[in-house]
Chains A and B, each alone.
Chain A
Amino acid sequence: MTAYIVRRVLYGLLILVGVNLFTFVLFFAVNTPDDMARLSIGGQRVSPEAIERWKAERGYDKPLFYNPQAQGAARLTDTIFYERSVPLLAMDFGSSDGGRDIGREIRSRIGPSLALALPSFALGLFASVAFALTLVYFRATRLDFWGVVACVVLLSISGLFYIIAGQWLFAKVLRLVPYSGFAPGLDMARFLLLPVLVAVISRLGPEARFYRTLFLEEIGKDYVRTARAKGLAERVVLFRHVLRNAMLPILTGTVSAIPLLFMGSLIAESFFGIPGLGSYTIDAINAQDFSIVRAMVFLGSALYIAGLILADISYTLADPRVRFE
């Protein structure tokens, strides 16, 4: 198993190198350093000297991939690509184009992001599984039918509507929670209540419907019939037999999503004014801050790969029939 994990991690590193190269090419095709300097300093008439100074301060005045003026190995290392990419592999994000330390910024913003993402994830999973199990318990009745209809309608509504409608109903009409914002400590709960609720509801439709089909497929199997033939109560059959076996496919889907929770949610954070990594990313996109976006891309890819590896491991732990080779 160790050998397998080591192999997967090495493969993950290889992918990260690919991601790095790809984003570098993509971003430098978007903006030359001159464009970035012009945008960052602002104004139409920027003197060439100012651009040169801006580039020199941030190390953008070097060649992209190959530096013919340097000697020996420095021909490859004294370039923008090397200086900007290799430290990323050691999780050293450097400073943004605005001059602030990205690593520090990420550390301070990861708390609010997780405070929103973790409860949303856990409650959302719980609500979806509970709803799906209820539908399966009442299968082939009117309740089941209308439950599925509700799911299809729920998943046909854009997530943006849930946010706007939630803000309107709970913040404007009922005045139960603030519109948006964030505060540390215990006050956090007041601000997070609505975003979490919205996240749970917007996930309910697609996930509950998916889980329902998983449960229904499981319920048609022989061992369930055996369990019923033994005279077990429907409740026991559902919870001990069906739920545990159907958890396997649910597990792979959810475990791989856990590391990505650190990235925060782009839309919810910007709507509710939560100073997390999602809103950080959006601000960076709008300001065209090359360094931050690249750091976030790298972080996201690394977390995604970590999620894949975690999912594989959890699959073996949960299902003894799966063995690594």
Chain B
Amino acid sequence: MPRIVLLWTDAALFLLLAGVLLYAWRARRSPSVRGAWARVARDTPAMCAAVVLVAFALVGLLDSIHYRPLLPPAPGAAADAPRAYAPAVRSVLDALMDGSGLASPEKTYSAPLATRQFTKETVLDGGEPVREFPRLAFGGAHLADPDAPRAADVLGRLAAGLGAGLAAALAAGALAAALLARRHGSWRQAAGAIARGRTELPWRAMWLTLALLCLAAGALAGLASGYHPFGTDRTGNDVLWQALKSVRTALVIGSLTTLAMMPPAIVFGIAAGYFKGRIDDVIQYLYTTLTSIPGVLLIAACVLMMQVYIDGNPGAFPTSAERADLRLFLLCLILGLTGWAGLCRLLRAETLKLRELEYVQAARAFGVSHLRIMRRHLLPNVMHIVLITGVLEFSGLVLYEAVLSYLGIGVDPTMNSFGSMIDMARLEMSRDPMIWWNLATAFLFMLALVLAANLFSDAVRDAFDPRTRKFAPGAPVAGGPALAGAPLPADASAKGGA
């Protein structure tokens, strides 16, 4: 029995999952919230994006169940010797990928679907040293002659993978039809309605997205049975494996940071708007000071401080994965604690408006306590802002992680992330012949994840916010986050005016 290891971010992710489920359960009972989500569900691009996001989340969650495998007992050990566990932490995703090309490292660079290494090495050929491209340990190892045309072998594996993907997609379609059978009379009619796009929710588009995902996953799995489908990187790790592991890092950064910035933003925002006066002044001073410090420098200072702590307490972390994980967790906290000002400002403005409404005045006249007014009457009515900001922040944070990792203040260097993949690709692009597969894979995965998140968050914003314009995203981090012009405090400019 392997020993389950619960890392900090694992615990946070599963708590987050529980929180989402709890929210879904509560949202079902509230007609207005349910109506807004129903509007999201009728939006075709949003639901296709949701399918992609669920797939990414699945990969991330599988990669979040960590364990240390039990080592076989040492030869000659006593029967009651304590059981020994491997020092390296593995995840369920690693176990799923065992045996394929993804989990079989090479020595160094190799191109996609290659059978020989990218760089030359001196090998002994019958006692004579010869410079040549050595064969890969895994890629094409089953082939008798690595230099013969291998299109037939590749196409065979590809076809098998595509077939399996198609079967999975068809099974999913049948399942959807079976689920819709009651509403449409029989499953036959339900399948017809899906095929013609006559269902209330965009089932046909969702099924097509899922089918594409299944086909892509099937094709990659088929190729990975004998080759490295996206090649290997400098240390010989499979690039596709790295991209899959990076998904979890991106998800953790995006979701935990959003979560970490909510408590200060909600507490301070509502308090400032509700109490006004001196408390408002202090809170405004606090967040103006925080926003006026260039973001990257603030994060850099915090990350350096964290690094000093981690370096100073090496004994606190049994495995390197735990150390890297704590660094990721603290990075999320730092990003959250330096980034709550924007949401706080929005909440303050909304609360200032709400507190003058009659129902709040009535509650105050009845002698309801401040805390209770804020919790029962104000918080539920500003939750839509929190939700919209949360989903909008997500994609920006995934992109931000790449920038921070490039600057050396992001995740731990031993942790897979899109940022470190891009960082390595800088030098690889200037080599000749060029090593493009690392960057291309990172690009592909990141684009899919961020695009899906953007499409979904747009639909959520449209559904929950009647005045869409107000929450249009500010300029994200493209030109260096120091330049990302935060929106102005509207109160200062509009004072007494229109």
Contacts and interface: CB of A to CB of B under 8 A. Distances in A.
Chain B interface size, as a band, is 35 or more
B406 A160 contact: yes
B494 A158 contact: no
Contacts of B292: 15, 19, 300-301, 304-305
A105 to B, nearest CB: 17
24 contacts: A8-B492, A27-B301, A30-B301, A31-B304, A152-B451, A156-B395, A157-B443, A159-B399, A160-B422, A164-B422, A179-B430, A210-B472, A253-B488, A263-B483, A265-B480, A267-B480, A268-B480, A271-B426, A278-B482, A285-B300, A285-B408, A293-B300, A300-B297, A304-B292
Tier of interface size on chain A: 35 or more
Given A26-B305, A293-B301, A161 B479 contact: no
Contacts of B422: 158, 160-161, 164
Contacts of B476: 155, 206
B454 interface: yes
Contacts of B489: 308
B289 interface: yes
B301 A267 contact: no
Interface in A280-325: 281-282, 285-286, 288, 293, 296-297, 300-301, 304-305, 307-308, 311-312, 315, 319, 321-325
Interface in B38-89: none
Contacts of A170: none
Nearest to A128: B475
B261 interface: no
Interface in B380-422: 395, 399, 402-403, 406-409, 418, 422
Contact of A311 (B305, B434, B475, B493): B493
A312 B297 CA distance: 26
Contacts of B297: 281, 285, 293, 296-297, 300
A271 to B, nearest CB: 8
Contact of B488 (A256, A282, A288): A256
B221 interface: no
B466 interface: no
Interface in A41-67: none
Interface in A248-262: 252-254, 256-257, 260-261
A127 B291 CA distance: 28
B17 to A, nearest CB: 25
Interface in B288-313: 288-289, 291-294, 296-298, 300-302, 304-305, 308
A190 interface: no
